[in-house]
């Protein structure tokens, strides 16, 4: 969902800033801290990754400003999504596929942001659960990975309780549209616009190419069962190892009730264009 925001507000933004541990982010924070305060912005809290966060401030700020790369964006998303707080990402990492602006672009966009001339993109997350446990929603992807490097995991895949296929592989990625440009893309999946409501299912190194990537409606229930006789599987959410699924156990993936909101200052194709250009450069060497 893309929500236009062009309502003029005389009050300057109230923000919480999340900062990457990278030195570039700390230097940039020192630069913009003075600039933003001189323009009347209210910086309610500066959060380093791992810091204690004032939940009340997250609930009353206009948006969270993230200075860092994709890892910092994922961290901030986990913290703010339950409050419905939009995120504006400034890329001070390497790839920055989840971020919106470069450091220079952010400074050039200050007046536009102050006037509310931006849109808010509401994107889906994926929830996961087993019969015994519910896991945190993921913004990029859930991954089932073989628990034994060099050994394949056997998986049976069901959609809305109907058997779909089974595959022997190193793992399986269940991705959001936003996450389609991350691990799923590296494993051979498609680029999916964040404005679509979909789940992307991508096998990792399937034996004999026994399964192609799939794009399914986000309202599907995807159940994955670990087959006996093969390796167990680790459950990984946005790069964090959460649990192990052993033989004969299963895990279900659904669209999460919790959404993530991103401030978009540039045109809707900007993120896809960035990924396509990076891909083209990698092919050209």
Q: Is 30 helix (H, G, I), strand (E, B) or coil?
A: helix
Q: Does the annotation mark 62 as catalytic?
A: no
Strand ranges (E), the chain: 2-5, 14-19, 42-48, 63-68, 87-91, 118-129, 134-138, 141-146, 153-159, 162-169, 171-175, 198-204, 214-217, 222-226, 233-237, 240-245, 250-264
Give me the catalytic one of 70, 232, 243, 267: 70
Closest CA to 173 of 280, 253, 64: 253
Structure-token pair, residue 182: 């991350």
Distances (CA, A) of 98 to 94, 188, 225: 11, 19, 31
Active site residues: 70
């Amino acid at each position: 969902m893309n929500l236009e925001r062009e309502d003029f507000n005389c009050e300057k933004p109230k923000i919480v800033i999340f900062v990457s541990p990278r030195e570039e982010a700390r230097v940039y924070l020192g630069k913009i801290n003075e600039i933003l305060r001189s323009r009347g912005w209210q910086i309610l809290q500066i959060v380093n990754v791992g810091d204690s966060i004032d939940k009340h401030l997250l609930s009353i700020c206009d948006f969270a400003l993230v200075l860092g790369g994709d890892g910092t964006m994922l961290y901030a998303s986990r913290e703010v999504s339950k409050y419905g707080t939009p995120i504006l990402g400034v890329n001070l990492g390497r790839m920055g596929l989840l971020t919106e602006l470069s450091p220079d672009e952010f400074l050039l966009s200050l007046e536009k942001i102050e006037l509310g001339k931006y849109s808010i993109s509401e994107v889906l997350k994926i929830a996961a659960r087993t019969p015994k446990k519910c896991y945190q929603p993921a913004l990029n992807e859930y991954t089932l990975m073989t628990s034994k490097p060099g050994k394949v995991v056997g998986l049976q895949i069901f959609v809305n309780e109907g058997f779909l296929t089974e595959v022997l592989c190193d793992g399986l990625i269940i991705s959001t549209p936003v996450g389609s440009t991350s691990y799923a893309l590296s494993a051979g999946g498609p680029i999916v616009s964040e404005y679509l409501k979909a789940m992307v299912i991508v096998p990792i190194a399937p034996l004999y190419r026994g399964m192609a990537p799939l794009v399914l409606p986000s309202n599907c229930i995807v159940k994955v069962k670990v087959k006996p006789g093969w390796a167990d599987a680790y459950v990984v959410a946005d790069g964090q190892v959460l649990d192990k699924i052993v033989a004969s156990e299963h895990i279900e993936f659904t669209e999460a009730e919790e959404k993530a909101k991103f401030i978009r200052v540039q045109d809707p194709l900007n993120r896809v264009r960035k990924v396509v250009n990076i891909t083209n450069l990698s092919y050209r060497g």
